[in-house]
A and B are shown apart, each in its own frame.
Chain A
Amino acid sequence: MFVLIVGCGRTGSRVARHLIQQEGNEVSVMDRDPEAYARLEVGLERPWSELGGKFTVGAALETEALELAGIEKADAFVASTNGDNTNIVISQIARERYGIDKVVARIMDPARAEFYGGRGLEIICPTSIAAGMLGEALGYPATGTVS
């Protein structure tokens, strides 16, 4: 599977490292900060590029950068920049312009996560997940969606 991950922070780089170590995956990562590359190699035995990984510097909305990073042939797309709105917008671009079926976006704000989740985007909301788990750790498991 060819996966494009936009946003190489703690989350994006971690997903990228996890995926590239699975057999048969090709992983391309994009970030506007060239320094973000260093995060990809933390704890890896061989350099990212030697494992077949790709890294492109570019802003999320730049079509040219996305295409350079391989969006046209991506089977899956992960939006994990530090901006909720950026993630929402690029996920829709990935799905509607490039026709990628598997598009997952990380959205911190539960309200936006709920609205866009209802519009067919696959959303991971770390805030709701953490809130639920914290409540559970205190002995009060969540009964519904925490928003």
Chain B
Amino acid sequence: MYLLVIGAGKVGTNLSRELIEQGHEVTLIETSQKRYQAIEPLFEHRIQLGDASELWVLERAGIQRADMVIAVTGDDEDNILICQVAKEKYGVPQIIARVNNPRNKQHFDLLGIAPVVSSTSLILSFIEHGVPQKGLIRLLDLGSEGIEIIEVLVAEDSPVKDRSVQEVELPERTLLISILREGKGFVPESDSVIRGGDRILAVLDPDQEEGLKAAFGTR
């Protein structure tokens, strides 16, 4: 595969190195001359100096034949623009964008930039996983594929408490895939009984979240 990686910060350089080791063809684009000079000995012809929001810089790097563009600069506007241009002007089949400020995620969603990766949100979700406070936690979000994996806590007053899996009225396109209880997880059978304090993993269409919350009595 031919991949363009935009932004040669820590994320961009480590990612590019791994991709090259996996045998992919990679071009890294960096806008800061200082940063470029510092890592050019490592990447040699695989790194180019330039502002990747300028179309000619992308074209010089061969965006027309790229299989994937990965925008991991420290600037959310730049990541949005680069992905939008890659997808819509050059028809790049796959894009991945980094969200620096999780509050900007809504703008990526609005403009159809997906999938996105936000290390802040990821760390937050792990913290929530360790210390469950909210009823519903998104563990994996494949928005563009229309699927996500969530974790939901069964409260003591939940309507599904002490009922078997087959008795739970799930919304459409939703599947319970695991029950986490006392530090262990198992794949439930249809007659497995859900207890209060269980954490349930479900795979579902993101549109069905509200329905799942209703079924579990999650606020």
Q: Which residues of A are at the interface with B, using a C-beta cutoff of 8 A?
A: 60-63, 83-86, 88-89, 92-93, 96-97, 109, 111-112, 115, 119
Contact status A111-B54, CB under 8 Å: yes
Q: Which residues of B contact A63 (CB under 8 A)?
A: 103, 106
Contact status A115-B55, CB under 8 Å: yes
Q: Which residues of A contact B53 (CB under 8 A)?
A: 84-85, 109, 112
What separation, in Å, do the CA atoms of A15 and B89 have in the docked complex?
Answer: 31
Contact status A115-B85, CB under 8 Å: yes
B75 within 8 A of A: yes
Beyond contacts A88-B81, A112-B55, A115-B89: 5 other A-B pairs, Cβ-Cβ < 8 A, are A63-B103, A83-B77, A85-B80, A111-B56, A115-B55
- Number of inter-chain CB pairs below 8 Å: 47
What separation, in Å, do the CA atoms of A92 and B112 have in the docked complex?
Answer: 11
Which 9 residue pairs are nearest across A and B when measured between Cβ atoms? A85-B77, A85-B81, A111-B55, A86-B77, A89-B77, A85-B78, A89-B80, A85-B53, A61-B104
Q: Which residues of A contact B111 (CB under 8 A)?
A: 89, 92, 96
What separation, in Å, do the CA atoms of A92 and B81 have in the docked complex?
Answer: 11
Contact status B110-A93, CB under 8 Å: yes
Contact status A85-B75, CB under 8 Å: yes
A109 to chain B, nearest CB (A): 6
B88 within 8 A of A: yes
What separation, in Å, do the CA atoms of A118 and B102 have in the docked complex?
Answer: 30
B107 within 8 A of A: yes
B76 within 8 A of A: yes
Q: Which residues of B contact A89 (CB under 8 A)?
A: 77, 80-81, 107, 111
Contact status B54-A109, CB under 8 Å: yes
- List residues of B (66-94) whose CB comes within 8 Å of A's CBs: 75-78, 80-81, 85, 88-89
